Structure 1
């Protein structure tokens, strides 16, 4: 067994401040010289950017379905071998989803800190805390933190409302100027927040005044090692678009490509950088092309290099925002239509309401490939699906996966370690 202090940061619902609190705890202990490893429950690209800045290390996803129990165990074991503290941020409310944050905490016996946004409540705070702590006896419970507290008197009322036997870990004020800004897909990207480090330091200062200033209990983690993937991409050079427009990338996906023998060549479409001429394959990840559509439309070097890559019959994988970039046009929220690359036939339209959010899986010739979808755009295309994903738990129809020559495109964000052989097929442009 491997022993390491660990804490699971859950909440009563979304928008309670889980990411801010998790980042604050991470930054506080990192400032004390401790090695902190942070994980995010479920599919997320934006929260991990903030958490990575707070702790100084890449943030990996844990999810009993998408990542898998054994892979989660191996990731936690690796962290326990290296770290002085492990933090896991939950998703949505503690018991929401199948599997839920509570299921993950129970699976690895990691004690839960419940963050409750206390604005607009007083004694009811105690009832919510009691319910979270007692709803499932198999979920280890550490304590509760009040967030967005209005005043010292408000904090006193909240602490007095906690039933006997529950740990009150303190509060964070709504006047501390630490809240993180959001946009339509979630938090603003870390690289776009000029004052992020100052904000994280203020958050750490606030946590230093709570019981969370001390290390949480030690947790026993099974000493597990990940299975080495086959070197199915040996000798392959993969160009990856990476900038503010294309940034939705799981660190575990990049690790897998390297472990399978690929060489990675990053480039920036926003900086009008070309796809490296010697790239065998191209990956266009999701992100925010709609926020940079005018720039992408005018960056001629990148456009020409991608078209040349496709003309040479080299493999392309485009996910969500990357797929929108390959279409004929993208219409933004203001109704402005921007010319995209014209590699794929079709037009995308941004909208203010969510188009789809779900865990997904796609059954390939190599077995199931897991992932998720989350987008605010719709697609009008004559292309017919090569494969169709399904909802991970209900089996309902999910996203289409298109094959156009050696271009593979889909709204689904795949978690490649769930099926290395399928991932290799995506980059080799072979049977999927």
Structure 2
């Protein structure tokens, strides 16, 4: 039987409208009112969920009909609906951008979209923009909108007066420093680097409350869905996972899958630890090794430990920042060069322009591992890739390097999309790659 829960997709006409902070502030506002708030993120993202977890006090998971699969979208929401007082989903990019878009997810789950629009420098045109968002897809429900960064109460009233029939203004948020979180080249600054995030979220919640955004959205029916449990393909395998300010891009769903498959997880910090925990396999996830290049270079004991692990032929998965740390040298955004692990010959370098973005898959005989790429660095190496990922749409992909037990790429994998492939990687079993865009997963 379906469960009715207030739920809404927080979206926008484009990136940069303020939807991430509005979502976080809404979560904190309702949490402070004594409600249990569950928040999800549409599509691949590591940094926004970190902030949303602090705001809501609960785990945040990805929902993406292609990357996570439609079935997972359904059962994650069904589980949340069991005891949540409010479900918020933060969209990605613009409402109709991407395939599948935030609108596609909202329609799949029959949840209304709530656009956040930066109204700075805008008056009656605000209504025209809302009309377009609300009418572009007749199957999508848009009955409320949020105006962000208004200049005055009168500005907010002008926006309200210009709205099309059938759409109301939930609230008009004034410009306020509490609604801004600093960012850098990969997105928001990590919560662990912010001293006053909890205080700022409380202040942001009060800003939203004063703007009239403290009412719950309409309740929508969330249908029950069954969760498929993975096989224990990693029973007894000990996996050491790098986790600190340099290596932090880790999906909760990924670590939970490893545990469900029977693995033992042991975390360590390449920045401060001098040795690896006892492990059969190693995972170097993405993050900001470029911001900590000298610290990593100077931790000689850890470097020796990882090189010894590699030379023993043990399995290592290195994703994006992890790949960068595996090179001989890493050049940061200021041009400083830092010696790294030296597992991959050559140099990684931070550059100004985005080098890779979008949904991709790694196709193997064991299954299709789905994920994405997003990086602002280049790799100059003599190694030839063992395979390349495939873009969801278009041509090209990221190089995948395999040597001894190392599998390294700029590709970020969503482990639950292909548990068998993940198990093979962490067991050090050779993968057979192939190109097969027809290998799809609902």
Give the TM bin, normalised by the shorter chain: over 0.9
Q: How much has 1:96 moved relative to structure 2?
A: 0.5
Tell me the equivalent position of 1:249.
250
Tell me the equivalent position of 2:426.
427
Tell me the equivalent position of 2:438.
none
Contact 1:78 1:225 in 2 (8 A): no
Tell me the equivalent position of 2:440.
none
Shifted more, 162-171 versus 85-94: the winner is 162-171
Secondary structure in 2 matching 1:232: coil
| Root-mean-square deviation over aligned CA pairs | 1.1
TM-score by length of 1: 0.98
Tell me the equivalent position of 1:233.
234
Tell me the equivalent position of 1:358.
358
Distance 2:28 2:332 in 1: 37
Q: How much has 1:113 moved relative to structure 2?
A: 0.7
TM-score by length of 2: 0.95
Q: How much has 1:201 moved relative to structure 2?
A: 0.8
What residue ranges of structure 1 are gaps of 5+ in the alignment?
none
Shifted more, 232-241 versus 332-341: the winner is 332-341
Secondary structure in 2 matching 1:127: helix
Q: What is the correspondence of 1:371-410 to structure 2 with a 5 Å cutoff?
A: 371-394=371-394, 396-410=395-409
Equivalences, count: 430
Distance 1:163 1:369 in 2: 44
Q: Deviations over 1:232-268 (max 9, x none)?
A: 0000110000011100011000010000000110011
Contact 2:143 2:166 in 1 (8 A): no
Q: What is the correspondence of 1:39-50 to structure 2 with a 5 Å cutoff?
A: 39-50=40-51
Tell me the equivalent position of 1:6.
7
Q: How much has 1:320 moved relative to structure 2?
A: 0.2
Distance 2:151 2:250 in 1: 37
Q: Deviations over 1:298-319 (max 9, x none)?
A: 0122112111212222110000
Tell me the equivalent position of 2:439.
none
Tell me the equivalent position of 2:217.
216
Distance 2:178 2:358 in 1: 33
Distance 2:264 2:362 in 1: 26
Distance 1:339 1:112 in 2: 48
Q: How much has 1:130 moved relative to structure 2?
A: 1.2
Tell me the equivalent position of 1:412.
411
Distance 2:362 2:423 in 1: 15
Contact 1:9 1:112 in 2 (8 A): yes
Distance 1:80 1:260 in 2: 25
Contact 1:387 1:401 in 2 (8 A): yes
Is residue 2:136 matched to residue 1:102? no
Q: Which runs of 4+ in 1 moved over 6 A?
A: none
Contact 2:160 2:168 in 1 (8 A): no
Tell me the equivalent position of 2:130.
129
Tell me the equivalent position of 2:436.
none
Distance 1:76 1:380 in 2: 43
Distance 1:210 1:73 in 2: 33
Distance 2:91 2:182 in 1: 19
What residue ranges of structure 2 are gaps of 5+ in the alignment?
432-442
Distance 2:31 2:198 in 1: 13
Contact 1:176 1:202 in 2 (8 A): no
Q: How much has 1:413 moved relative to structure 2?
A: 0.1
Contact 1:40 1:59 in 2 (8 A): yes
Q: How much has 1:269 moved relative to structure 2?
A: 1.1
